[in-house]
A and B are shown apart, each in its own frame.
Chain A
Amino acid sequence: MAAPCVFWGAAVSYRLFLGGRVSLALRQGVWKAAAAELQILRLRHTTGVTAKKNVAALRRETYTVDFIKKQIEEFNIGKRHLANMMGEDPETFTQEDIDRAIAYLFPSGLFEKQARPIMKHPEQIFPKQRAIQWGEDGRPFHFLFYTGKQSYYSLMHEAYGKLLDVEKRQNQLQAKGLFSEKTKTKDLIGSRWLIKEELEEMLVEKLSDQDYAQFIRLLERLLTVECSAEEEEFVQRFRRSVTVQSRKQLIEPLQYDGQGMAFSTSEGKRKSAKAEAIVYEHGSGRIKVNGIDYLLYFPVTQDREQLMFPFHFLDRLGKHDVTCTVSGGGRSSQAGAIRLAMAKALCSFVTEEEVEWMRQAGLLTADPRVRERKKPGQEGARRKFTWKKR
């Protein structure tokens, strides 16, 4: 909640907002956007605290326009005070400077980032709300006011109008005989439709799932027909770019040392062991770990078998020389880390098909298993204390 504070005897108090007043829906929406990008289906998560319903608090607080204006004035004055305090120029004090200044003046050890003190523009803190919808004579401003969802329906009206325009144009062209069946290659890759929460935020209106689905269907229909630049722009307003995760294995480039021998370097990790391996193109199968021969560094056969596995898989057992450095972990995890590093380095010398085989064999995937913590009331991570009947 907003906590007013008087700072250094200044006459004007400005507010620091302890805890971002971000609505729960927006937070869930941001999270859902991430999930949408990863294309993973997850269960809907809601706050699990079951308490008695506080009806007054459930109703959305309405902030008047004057209140918001006053908050904005106070924020601007406070920004100038802060700039003076930090000894910087008030005119060129950006939001990043404010964040840095607040983090410096109010260091917080709290883990939850949104619980730390923040000072942001009131537009980002108070949720956007609707102003009064009608004039002095009582006549509403928007022609679809009496439907209840004026922004959404006017958007549908606009989109459908564009569709009708396009179809009329196509009919005219067809009548003249100039119609061409052009199949469009759309630049849809790398972008996704707006999710329902983002659309609700854009329209400042609640939508139902069916409304949202209907809208997306209409936009997709608009995309299937050939449309002009302004219709494309209209549709692109409702698409967001998404970073496409590359599925391809990153292949290290080959490097050449003084003698002209090609080699490739790569890193690997397993539990807490980190390894870096340099694989030379031509060699006789010697492996040096931290300057020591692998036979002496890994006395146990199992570890040496782990080191051999990538070469054995590719039938290149005596053909490469390897120099690696490793630190951390135990003997088995060091062996696993070196194995991963070597396999990744080998990708540069090998065909793409073989890279795919290695990937399927599991040689190129870092093992994510780490030690599970011990829990109280149990002897170990999973083992419980001996159960005594009496």
Chain B
Amino acid sequence: MRLILRESPWETTGCVGLARGVCAGPLRPRLLQSATPGRARPSGRTLASAATPAVREPEGSIDLNDRILNEPLKHSDFFNVKELFSVRSLFDARVHLGHKAGCRHRFMEPYIFGSRLDQDIIDLEQTAAHLRLALNFTAHVAYRKGIILFVGRNRQFSHLIETTARDCGEYAHTRYFKGGLLTNAPLLLGPKVRLPDLIIFLHTLNNVFEPHVAVRDAAKMQIPTVGVVDTNCNPCLITYPVPGNDDSPPSVHLFCRLFQTIINRAKQKRRHMEALYRLQGQEGPGARGGGPAHPPSLGAYPGDRSSPLPEESGSHACP
């Protein structure tokens, strides 16, 4: 990976072209700066000292890199997140089931559709919208070769989450979270460690039903977070909350599958774009850039292990 020293952190792409419904409030202004890739940044993300050497590169390849990175930002749904799930599939996976009304968190009330027999039901329309935003953001992070950390503290799904992370080439932490892991990382993990660029919470609470420490620490270290929030969770500090059930096996399996699919898809897309631009760079400058991802056909992403659900294939309009 080439070293490119840039001044500003990179952009959250969740706000590109989509409904500005629910993005995280306090973190937005900081993140809305111009795009940039690269590993060494003087912002708080990596706690490396600023002594990284600036490697000067040929101007052509910087331009190429810029184009690779800017291409997804020109399209609203570059990674075709819409076709991965539907409200019906969320319902079948029991994502709408919340806890009892007594466990309800005050800040989750906007996301709750109602309650039946004292059990809260989550509004799946809102969930679908939030999930699209979250998956799109995850895909953009994976496209830019960011480090994604899966966090969850439910022992029932610990093995599943770790397997998911390993299968998409990212990282997981489903064990006891040591206090200064993010805030005191140079001491705990090594002097020049690179912190995660995105943290995905499959469970926002820890084993004693308190908010996971990583939520607060990620906010402190300015790491964006995506989190599945149940009706007893606090969605405040999470950048992209996804209201949904985090206790049933089908629900957690669905979320893991979705994240794994989208990350693999994004990485594959990145490889394609790099190959494409490298070829065009060899052919000559001024060549046309690559097109967006074609909307859905089932064979479009052969690397996807989980294909879109069977009942959806009929309703797709292939261009």
Contact = CB atoms under 8 A, between A and B. Distances in A.
Contacts of A134: 190, 193-194
Interface string B182-201: 00000011101110100000
A376 interface: no
Given A143-B162, A144-B162, A146-B196, A136 B1 contact: yes
Nearest to B1: A137
Interface stretch (B66-74, B81-89, B163-171, B224-232): B163-171
Interface stretch (A30-38, A156-164, A316-324, A334-342): A156-164
A143 B1 contact: no
B76 to A, nearest CB: 29
B171 A143 contact: yes
A146 B181 contact: yes
B78 to A, nearest CB: 23
B196 A133 contact: no
Contacts of A160: 159
A148 B181 contact: yes
Given A143-B170, A146-B173, A148-B181, A138 B46 contact: yes
B219 interface: no
Contacts of A373: none
A146 B194 contact: no
A137 B39 contact: yes
A17 interface: no
A138 B146 CA distance: 10
Contacts of A149: 175
A331 B235 CA distance: 90
Contact of B39 (A138, A146, A161): A138
Interface string A89-103: 000000000000000
B147 A148 contact: no
A148 B185 CA distance: 10
A277 B165 CA distance: 74
B48 to A, nearest CB: 8
Contacts of B178: 148
A152 to B, nearest CB: 9
Contacts of B39: 137-138
B175 A147 contact: yes
Contacts of B46: 138
A153 interface: yes
A157 B147 contact: no
A164 B194 contact: no
A146 B188 CA distance: 10
Nearest to B147: A139
A144 B194 contact: no
B205 interface: no
Nearest to A156: B175
A164 B149 contact: no
Interface string B112-147: 000000000000000000000000000000000101
Contacts of B171: 140, 143-146
Contacts of B188: 148
B159 A144 contact: no
Interface string A143-184: 111111100010001001100100000000000000000000
Nearest to A160: B159
Contact of A139 (B166, B192, B194): B194
B213 to A, nearest CB: 13
B172 interface: yes
A164 B157 CA distance: 12
B193 A161 contact: no
- Top 7 nearest A-B pairs by Cβ distance? A137-B1, A138-B194, A143-B166, A138-B39, A146-B173, A147-B173, A147-B175
15 contacts: A132-B190, A133-B189, A134-B190, A137-B145, A138-B46, A138-B147, A138-B194, A140-B171, A144-B172, A146-B149, A148-B178, A149-B175, A157-B159, A160-B159, A164-B159
